[in-house]
Structure 1
């Protein structure tokens, strides 16, 4: 998908540097040393130049840079070109919001199309690269060890992947020497409006899990935390109201509403979830962010273990240029990984990259509470957890072996390392996903 810019200016040719000479020589300066060889570093430089122009409301200069990027961007090119096409699309979207009359846009498109997957398609999506399976494996192994000997287990599951994590754990529990526990899984009806999106309801997912658990002779119960303010099946929650739904969810996280039982071991699982809780303290009581409030509420439930898995990048900065730098260097990872084993025109690859494009558009286009993606790095999350009164649970060698065995099924560029409290998935040495495990400090006795 080549970005098509509307307007009168002719496309800027990389072989005609005189066209870059603005009065401030700023565009020519951005391209100095890059002509004829637009590698990742030069593309990043152009993206930052465009971001600076947009932050200063210089739409004319932003358009000029976009024309240059348009010569590079291609959704069927190499990883840098494919990634650039999504950044260009996001920058055009932001420019259109800053100046609605500006003559830049994708022809015939005002937004990204959201697709609904079948359960089978979701399984293939999860298996494509270890982006999600790494967290599933590390979490399930740690949870399995934490609940050894427990006859009843209740998992409070906060995840964007529609319970795809749990069949593997159910299968492992079925093989326990002492027999499987009675397992209960509770999920919220609220879900952040982000990919992957499924074409069946949470209740249908629960029914499928129940059938699998019955097949494996694991006593099973599935519950949905109902909230009348949540969207119905197939409807997307607006950006403006997403934080309100998150806050409403907190009111349901109490022992009574969750039907917590004294004979159950409580497990809380957060897979790619905390980032969608706003971290802005403005307008909240005692200047405590919703993210910290959530952790405080979870701590009050006294879980036996809390697992947090997320993408290892800082994308919550208020500065657009800072977000672009981190975003470009971070999301290069899945684009490069997909290049190693899928053809350029592979439909599954294009759709996976489009889902990353959703994230890029959100990170670049929106500000304040309208921006949904607010990632924080693993080290920052670890500090937040400790400040919230949680203690780290080290990953045992058995868990490390299981994760390594999983990674052996994928391309050789994937690796794993330990960093303080975390296990970290890497691609060619670059951090991509972190996994951590915690318990409330009051439970150490």
Structure 2
């Protein structure tokens, strides 16, 4: 007997098929009623039971719950079914490593992604405001921060291949006093996470140079050679000499879009994490503004069960948003959901230093920035109005709210993406 994850391209073989036919005593009452149910609370309960079983090395219970989940999951179903299918794949993948003698999982093709063209990436970014929201708020804050500056240098830490910058270049071109000379420096490597592009960083820079030339904005694009962008070797590259920082009237901007989550927050005996060390060095560069944008969810807990329940409730947001306007068999929808599946697999499957993606909430990030000596910058009404105009282009479920020093993108009232802006020194009133 073989239990397969429907429509997933991945399968699990249970070496003791009889386990599927005899419910485990501890889940008989609580979970039997969930069979075939699409209720999110029930699915969350199932996921939690499976996580606890894996944490307790209870292969029998883990197999039982996966079988129940398999009767709910579907990669072509509704929001809960589709989300469950990705969690089930990740759980099976983890279980196959924990219990190799009891499970045989062929998941080698789960996350093999084709590389996008630049045009496809633009469509991907436009699909929902997940990325565009951060671009909009950041660009508006940066534009305000560099008013009156004749030279601007942006250190760009992001995963979206420069998609943010044409809008800022266009805005700078329209300044009454004329555009500044603009430099953008990016690391040569980025975390190997979606979205993936079929052209190099250098080619992205070449296209930005051409666009800036068309808009009459003096522009340079530099790729900083750093083969290990997300480990401690990154810190050695963040010096004024290595970054070619110029003191003469050049405003420095630090842009972190969905980036800090890939810097480890684990400590190795020296008392600080890579994430804190990065922020400490960045502050020492004395930027005019530092912008941090990321998903507003705390997935840093060491407990697998905590990460699973938090992740399930959070990633419901993009799955539900896509449900509102894309058909169930949409290739765009499957591709976007596959990227969420990549995230789920990392969050569930890897621990400690092996985990490359460990989100923290906007509130925790704000406290971290304050602890590092940064000072919060408020967002102006022009920024608020720009975001409102952007959200008018998307489904009515998207909204925005202020939370202390953050602007937060929401979906049906649920926090999804936060934006914050920071100064390295306290500003005078």
Measured in 1, the distance between the counterparts of 2:400 and 2:234 equals 34
1:333 aligns with 2:332: no
Q: How does 1:335-354 map to 2 (within 5 A)?
A: 335-354=319-338
1:58 is aligned to: 58
Secondary structure at 1:150 match in 2:
coil
Secondary structure at the residue paired with 1:187? Answer: strand
Is 1:247 matched with 2:254?
no
Cα offset, 1:148, TM superposition: 0.5
What's 1:277 paired with? 263
Conservation of the 8 A alpha-carbon contact between 2:91 and 2:349: yes
Equivalent in the alignment of 1:16: none
Does structure 2 retain, via aligned residues, the 8 Å contact 1:20–1:27?
no
Question: What corresponds to 2:103 in structure 1?
Answer: 103
- Equivalent positions of 1:80-119 (< 5 A) are 80-106=80-106, 109=108, 111-119=110-118
Aligned to 2:41: 41
**Do the aligned partners of 2:116 and 2:197 also contact (CA within 8 Å) in 1?**
yes
- Give, in angstroms, the shift of residue 35 of structure 1: 4.4
TM-score (norm 1): 0.91
1:365 to 349, 357, 364: 349
SS of the counterpart of 2:13? Answer: coil
Q: Indicate if the aligned counterparts of 1:11 and 1:67 stay in contact, CA closer than 8 A.
A: no
Shift of 1:181: 0.4
Native 8 Å contact 1:73 1:84 kept in 2: yes
Superposed CA offset, 1:54-78 (max 9, x none): 0011112111111111111111000
Deviation readout 1:29-82 (Å, 9 max, x if unpaired): 431553453411111101110111100111121111111111111110001000
TM-score, normalised via structure 2 length: 0.95
Give the number of equivalent residue pairs: 420
Aligned to 2:365: 381
**Residues 228-266 of structure 1: per-residue CA shift (max 9 Å, x gap):** x44xxxxxxxxxxx7xx4211110111111111112000
User: Could you tell me how far apart the structure 1 residues matched to 2:19 and 2:332 are?
Assistant: 31
1:4 aligns to what? Answer: 11
Matched, 1:402 2:410: no
Matches within 5 A, 1:118-267: 118-227=117-226, 229-230=227-228, 245-262=230-247, 263-267=249-253
Secondary structure of residue in 2 paired with 1:68: helix
CA deviation after TM superposition for structure 1 residue 282, in Å: 2.3
**TM-aligned CA deviation for residue 27 of structure 1:** 1.8
5+ residue gaps, structure 2, are 1-6
Are the counterparts in 1 of residues 19 and 64 from structure 2 also a CA contact under 8 Å?
Answer: no
CA distance in 2, matches of 1:438, 1:217: 29
CA distance change for structure 1 residues 304 and 357 in 2, over 3 Å: closer, same or farther?
A: same
Q: Which shifted more, 434-443 or 216-225?
A: 434-443
Q: Secondary structure at the match of 1:251?
A: helix
